[in-house]
Amino acid sequence: MIVVVSGPGGVGKGTIVDALVHRDPRLWLSRSWTTRERRPSESDDAYVFTDTERFERRIAEGGFLEWTEFLGNYYGSPTPSPHTDQDVVLEIEVDGAQQVKRLYPEALLLFVVPPSREEQERRLRGRGDPGDKVLARLKKAEIEEPIGRALADHIVVNDDLDATIDEMLEIIAAARPS
Ligand code: ADP
Ligand code: 5GP
């Protein structure tokens, strides 16, 4: 099974998927490649941080399941290599989610939304994103949200984090073929 977790920047996707794979060992988290700079608060292995030349070489080699350009940088999911008994989790924006749904219509798409735009902004600022990046992400969210909502199998409001994680684990468990 492929589980796509999508939603606007700062909604909590990264925090949620880390908890999902921690709680459910059957979930295998794909590590994306990006050309954006690492945030000071971010660990070295949050992404494969790379440059444009290497990213474009991998595109040419057909090494991505999906990739996109988002606010001036490349992001992509390398062709996954999970154990056979594991489900793949992709934490990606909506253009990538659309690509995955086209390739794998049976993929489960969970679209995470914030309780309000104000709370999303608080989370982005709290994470230490610079002011111009916060504004760009909020603007992008206005475009992404209607597309994501229309594409989603489930829309999850990330208000209380623990409740969100429980809800998503239940949705994933229910979607597994018995
Ligand atoms: P995304 O991956 O969607 O860009 P992050 O996982 O980086 O978002 O989360 C953005 C910030 O919001 C982080 O500082 C995270 O700790 C915080 N956060 C995530 N979920 C919640 C929540 N339910 N309530 C309050 N803060 C949250
Ligand atoms: P950030 O810069 O905040 O880490 O990520 C920006 C956006 O890119 C987020 O919506 C995140 O989910 C998305 N993203 C991260 N990795 C990938 C990827 O491999 N493919 C796509 N399409 N989007 C990604």
| Distance of alpha carbon 161 from alpha carbon 119, whole angstroms | 13
Residue 149, pLDDT > 90, answer yes
Give me 122's structure tokens.
């608080």
Domain count along the chain:
1
Instruction: Find tokens 């916060």 and name the residue.
Output: 134
Residue 82, pLDDT > 90, answer no
pLDDT tens string 28-81: 999 999 999 998 888 999 999 999 999 999 999 999 999 999 999 999 999 988
Q: What is the mean pLDDT of the chain?
A: 95
| Distance of alpha carbon 67 from alpha carbon 64, whole angstroms | 6
Give me 28's structure tokens.
């295998």
Mean predicted confidence (pLDDT) in 15-21: 97
pTM above 0.75, yes or no: yes
CATH (domain of 126)? 3.40.50.300
Question: For ligand 1, what atom is nearest to the CA of residue 15?
Answer: 6
Residue 83, pLDDT > 80, answer no
> Model confidence at 85, in pLDDT bands (50, 70, 90)?
confident
Helix (H) or strand (E) holding 146: helix 131-151
pLDDT for 53 equals 98
The residue range of the domain holding 20 is 2-175
Whole-number CA gyration radius for the chain: 16
How remote is the CA of residue 178 from the centroid of ligand 2, in Å?
31
Q: Which of 11, 32, 75, 133 has the most ligand 2 atoms within 8 A of CB, as the residue to mutate?
A: 75
CA 5 to chain centroid: 5
pLDDT for 160 equals 98
pLDDT for 84 equals 78
Q: Which of 92, 129, 151 has the most ligand 2 atoms within 8 A of CB, as the residue to mutate?
A: 92
Give me 92's structure tokens.
């990606």
Question: For ligand 2, what atom is nearest to the CA of residue 93?
Answer: 10
pLDDT tens string 120-135: 999 999 988 889 999 9
CA 112 to chain centroid: 9
> Model confidence at 4, in pLDDT bands (50, 70, 90)?
very high
Of 170 and 127, more confident: 170
Torsion of CA 47, 52, 54, 56, to 10 degrees: 110
